[in-house]
Every structure is written in structure tokens, then in C-alpha cells.
């Protein structure tokens, strides 16, 4: 699949850090299991959203076990269930002119720019445009509000829709079933505001990103998915600033904990509030520095005081389980109880049996009384988190005991 140099998916990065485009030239994204899984989910959705404007193709849950040719991944129940949420959602939108996996031209704002819209629908009678983006990931919850990637898609599809009829309102949707509460989110803006953003933010930002002297501007959001952040000096300086020290000091002090990182118990509530938003980025940066250093050494570079060694060995396993099974049974004369580990099925497995009809609906309902769930432990979260804050109870201190 072709990708634009200034892709909409990377726009949160290059609009904030124009120099990242120059720094990442020549970088080849090898992908990983998460990107492959996401691609598989999108391919499954496209397979199902066929059959004309009403999109009445096959149900994702009916395709469990199907292998997606482009990735070689097999569709499992979890993936099918997530994609089902997406297909149900877009099929329920008001009827109108529909686009699925539509490539849109963005050259009005981005030189040689284009992107692919997962699903769009224009209701000409009321001048409304819906642009829907499916996110299969569960790790980071994505909001549609002022989402640059989605706004790029909106502009591209708006340009097409306005050739059909006037559009006044644009609804930008994100369906991410496996993250947060799993509910689809929508942000509504006007066509006028979207055009203004394209003219005043996107076009100048694209021009700056393609200039040879584009500045490198590190920050948590733009650096999060940057492919070269592990070796970026500007990002290292930014992260050093987050932890209260200068990068030059990090390579001089022998005891970083004493000279740079303050004792958490000595931080004031205001200082904690300033540090907490950056902890995820700090942890990622530390991991990326390790990975980058290992890659450099594996490529022949020398890093004083460091080397690459074999990691911890994995768990022991039989080379060929079938052969061992015969030996244990026929040679060692072990019985089945000695040969196999047996355990009761989990509630999740029982639920699958209920969905398959092996356990009846009333039987499954009766089983709910035998199912419990461990309460989640306290977890730190920003005030914007949708979950309700825990009520903290303090025990009274008597007789001066501490």
C-alpha cells in the first residue's frame, strides 16, 4: 500500500515537529504484530461493508476462521467482535451517498498528498457529511476532537462531497471498540471551520515540513509515534528537561538518581502534577534509548561500557509433542492423569460454549451466580478520565500514633 510523504496518519507529528520529516527520510517501517493486526481488522471491515449503499455485506462474526490474504492473519472471535461494532455503527448512519476505503486527494493543502477514508457518507438533503475512522488498537484511546488525521480525511472527502451539493456540517467519528469504554466517539464541526483549518494550519504546516531547514520541535504528542525518536538529540534534551536536568549533566554525573532525579517523596503536589503527564513518554524514551543502543552495537558501533548479550532463555517445551506422547504412554506406561494437566474451563470459555449453543441460554443465565471478578486495584488517572474517582477513606490517628 502506497503512503504519502506527508501522510494524514502522521500529521499530528509533522504539524508539530516539521523537522521530523527530514530526520526520518530513508527510514523503512518494518511494521509489527500490532500494525498487522490493525491491517487485518481493516481488511475484514472492507470485506463486510459491501453490497451497495446500505453496506449489507457479510457479518464479521460469520467470518471467524477466515484468513486475510494480505496479512496471513486468521480472524478470531475478538477481532470479529470488534469489527462487528464498527460495521453495525456505520450501517446505522442515516442513508446517503457512501464511500468505503476511499482514497481522497489532498493536494489542495499537501503537495502530493492523499489519504484513505475508512468510511464516509454524505446526506445531501441536509448538507451533512460523516467521516468515520476505525481504530483496532487498544493501547491508546484516540479522540476525534480536533484530530488532525481525521480532519485531513474530512477535508479530502468534503472536497468530493461539495461537488455533489452544499455541505454545512461535518461529523468526524472514531470507532475504537477495544479501548476505553468501547463506545464510538464523534466530534462535529462546520465545513467552513474545516476549510479554515486547511488553509491556515494544514497548508502552511505542510510547506514548512517540506522545507530543508524545517525546525525540530520535540514534544510528547509529536514524538509519541516518531520512528526516529530513540536517536533524536532534541527529544533527549526534551526528556531531560522533563526530569529536571540538562542532557549534558546526564553524561557527567555518575549517580543520576542523586544529582538529577529528585526523591518522589520530596515533590510537592504541584511538582507531581507537572511530572505525571510526562511519565509515559519518559518510560518510552528510556526503552527506545535501550533499543537504539542495541541496534547500534549490532550494526558494528561501539558504546563505551556496553555490549549486547543473549537475553533470558524462553520456557522449556517439547520438540515434538506427538512423539513424547507416544513415549510417555507406550514406553513409560504413564496413565492419562499422569500425562496431562487438567483444569476447569474459565468463564470466558464457558461463554463461548454458550454462544455456540452447547450451553443453553437459561443455563448460561443460571451460571452468572457462580462467576465473580477480582476488583481492580487503585490506578492513577488524569481528571479527564471518564472513570469515577475512588472515595478515599482515612483512618483516624489516635493517641498520637503515626
What is the C-alpha to C-alpha distance for residues 158 and 130, in angstroms, rounded to an integer? 9
**pTM exceeds 0.75, yes or no:** no
Residue 375 backbone phi and psi in degrees, to 5: -65, 135
* CB atoms closer than 10 angstroms to residue 249: 13
Q: What pLDDT does 247 receive?
A: 39
Residue 381 backbone phi and psi in degrees, to 5: -150, 150
What is the C-alpha to C-alpha distance for residues 66 and 48, in angstroms, rounded to an integer? 12
Q: What pLDDT does 87 receive?
A: 94
Let me know: does 80 contact 115? Beta carbons within 8 Å. Answer: no
Residue 225 cell numbers, joined? 509515534
Q: What pLDDT does 251 receive?
A: 39
Which residue in the block uniquely carries the three cell numbers 497548508?
A: 203
Task: List, in sequence order, every residue forming a beta bridge with 170; answer none if it has no partner.
Answer: 129, 189
pLDDT one digit per residue (tens) for the chain, 402 residues: 455 689 999 999 999 999 999 988 877 666 678 888 999 999 999 999 976 666 778 899 889 999 998 888 999 999 999 999 999 999 999 999 999 999 999 999 999 999 999 999 999 999 999 999 999 988 788 999 999 999 999 999 999 999 999 999 999 999 999 988 889 999 999 999 999 999 999 999 999 999 999 999 988 789 888 888 777 888 877 877 766 543 343 333 344 444 456 677 877 888 788 778 777 777 777 777 787 788 888 888 888 888 888 877 888 889 998 999 999 999 999 998 889 888 888 888 888 888 888 999 999 999 999 999 877 777 777 777 777 887 766 554 444 444
Residue 386 cell numbers, joined? 471518564
Residue 332 cell numbers, joined? 513409560
Would you kindly state where each structural domain of the chain is located, as residue ranges?
A: 8-209, 228-298, 321-370
What is the C-alpha to C-alpha distance for residues 170 and 147, in angstroms, rounded to an integer? 13
Let me know: does 184 contact 174? Beta carbons within 8 Å. Answer: yes
Q: What pLDDT does 143 receive?
A: 93
**pLDDT tens figures, 16-41:** 999 999 988 877 666 678 888 999 99
Q: What pLDDT does 249 receive?
A: 38
Q: Which fold is adopted by the domain 8-209?
A: Lambda Exonuclease; Chain A (3.90.320)
Q: What pLDDT does 367 receive?
A: 92
Let me know: does 228 contact 20? Beta carbons within 8 Å. Answer: yes
Residue 91 cell numbers, joined? 450501517
Nearest to 189 by CA among 164, 158, 161, 165: 158
**3 state SS for the chain:** CCCCCCCHHHHHHHCCCCHHHHHCCCCCCCCCHHHHHHHHHHHHHHHHCCCCCCCCCCCHHHHCCCECCCCCCECCHHHHHHHHHHHHHHHCCCCCEEEEEEEEECCCCCCCCEEEEEEEEEEHHHCEEEEEEECCCCCCCCCCCCCHHHHHHHHHHHHHHCCCCCCCEEEEEEECCCCCCCCCEEEEEEHHHHHHHHHHHHHHHHHHHCCCCCCCCCCHHHHCCCCCHHHCHHHHHHHHHHCCCCHHHHCCCCCHHHHCCCCHHHCCHHHHHHHHHHHHHHHHHHHHHHHHHHHHHHCCCCCCCCCCCCCCCCCCCCCCHHHHHHHHHHHCCCCHHHHCCCCCCCHHHHHHHHHHCCCCHHHHHHHHHHCCCCCCCCCCCCCCCCCCCCCCCCCCCCCCCC
Residue 291 cell numbers, joined? 533499543
What is the C-alpha to C-alpha distance for residues 270 and 283, in angstroms, rounded to an integer? 21
**pLDDT tens figures, 339-349:** 988 888 888 88
Amino acid at each position: 500500500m502506497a503512503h504519502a510523504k506527508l501522510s494524514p496518519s502522521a500529521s499530528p507529528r509533522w504539524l508539530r515537529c516539521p523537522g521530523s520529516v527530514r530526520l526520518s527520510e530513508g527510514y523503512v517501517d518494518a511494521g509489527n504484530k500490532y500494525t498487522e493486526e490493525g491491517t487485518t481488522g481493516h481488511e475484514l471491515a472492507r470485506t463486510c461493508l459491501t453490497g451497495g449503499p446500505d453496506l449489507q455485506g457479510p457479518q464479521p462474526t460469520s467470518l471467524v476462521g477466515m484468513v486475510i490474504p494480505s496479512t496471513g492473519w486468521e480472524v478470531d472471535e475478538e477481532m470479529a467482535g470488534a469489527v462487528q461494532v464498527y460495521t453495525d455503527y456505520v450501517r446505522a448512519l442515516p442513508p446517503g451517498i457512501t464511500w468505503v476505503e476511499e482514497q481522497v486527494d489532498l493536494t489542495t493543502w499537501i503537495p502530493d498528498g492523499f489519504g484513505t477514508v475508512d468510511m464516509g457518507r454524505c446526506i445531501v438533503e441536509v448538507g451533512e457529511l460523516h467521516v468515520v475512522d476505525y481504530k483496532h488498537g487498544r493501547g491508546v484511546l484516540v479522540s476525534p476532537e480536533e484530530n488532525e488525521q481525521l480532519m485531513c480525511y474530512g477535508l479530502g472527502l468534503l472536497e468530493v462531497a461539495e461537488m455533489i451539493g452544499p455541505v454545512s456540517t461535518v461529523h468526524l467519528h472514531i470507532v475504537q471498540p477495544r479501548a476505553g469504554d468501547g463506545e464510538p466517539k464523534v466530534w462535529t464541526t462546520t465545513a467552513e471551520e474545516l476549510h479554515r483549518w486547511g488553509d491556515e494550519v494544514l497548508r502552511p504546516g505542510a510547506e514548512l515540513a517540506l522545507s530543508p531547514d524545517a525546525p525540530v520541535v520535540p514534544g510528547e504528542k509529536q514524538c509519541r509515534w516518531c520512528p526516529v525518536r530513540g536517536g533524536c538529540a532534541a527529544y533527549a534534551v526534551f526528556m531531560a528537561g522533563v526530569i529536571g536536568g540538562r542532557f549534558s549533566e546526564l553524561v557527567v554525573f555518575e549517580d543520576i538518581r542523586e544529582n538529577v532525579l529528585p526523591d518522589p517523596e520530596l515533590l510537592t503536589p504541584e511538582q507531581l502534577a507537572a511530572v505525571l503527564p510526562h511519565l509515559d513518554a519518559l518510560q518510552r524514551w528510556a526503552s527506545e534509548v535501550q533499543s537504539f543502543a542495541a541496534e547500534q552495537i549490532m550494526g558494528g558501533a561501539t558504546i563505551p561500557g556496553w555490549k549486547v548479550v543473549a537475553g533470558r532463555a524462553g520456557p522449556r517445551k517439547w520438540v515434538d509433542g506427538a512423539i513424547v506422547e507416544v513415549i510417555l504412554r507406550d514406553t513409560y506406561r504413564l496413565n492419562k492423569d499422569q500425562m496431562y494437566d487438567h483444569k476447569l474451563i474459565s468463564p470466558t470459555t464457558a461463554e463461548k460454549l454458550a454462544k455456540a449453543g452447547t450451553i443453553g441460554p437459561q443455563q448460561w443465565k443460571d451460571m452468572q451466580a457462580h462467576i465473580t471478578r477480582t476488583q481492580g486495584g487503585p490506578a492513577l488517572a488524569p481528571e479527564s478520565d471518564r472513570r469515577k474517582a475512588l472515595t478515599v477513606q482515612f483512618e483516624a490517628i489516635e493517641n498520637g500514633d503515626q
